Amino acid sequence: MAVEDNAALVRRFVEAAWNRGDLAVADATHAPAYGYHAPSKPGVTRSREDLRRQITTLRADFPDLHITLDDVLAAGDTVAVRYSLRGTHATRGKSVAITGMNFYRIADGQVVEYWGHADNLTLRQQLGDLPSAPSAAR
Each residue's pLDDT tens digit, 75-90: 999 999 999 999 999 9
Which residues, 6+ apart, have CB-to-CB distance to 30 below 8 Å?
13, 48, 51, 110, 111
Distance (Å, whole) CA 11 – CA 22: 13
Which pLDDT score is estimated for 132?
A: 86
- Which residue, among 69, 59, 55, has the nearest Cα to 101 in the 3D structure? 69
Distance (Å, whole) CA 39 – CA 56: 21
Domains and CATH numbers, the chain: 3-127 (3.10.450.50)
Average pLDDT, the chain: 95
Which pLDDT score is estimated for 128?
A: 95
Three-state SS string over 122-136 comes to: HHHHHHCCCCCCCCC
Range 119-125 average pLDDT: 95
* pTM of the shown model: 0.91
Distance (Å, whole) CA 121 – CA 127: 10
Strand stretches in 10-109, DSSP E? 30-38, 41-47, 66-75, 78-88, 95-107
Distance (Å, whole) CA 45 – CA 90: 30
Distance (Å, whole) CA 43 – CA 112: 12
Alpha carbon separation from 128 to 90, 99, 105 (Å, rounded): 14, 18, 35
Q: Which sign does the torsion angle of CA 86, 39, 16, 108 carry? A: positive
pLDDT at 61 over 70: yes
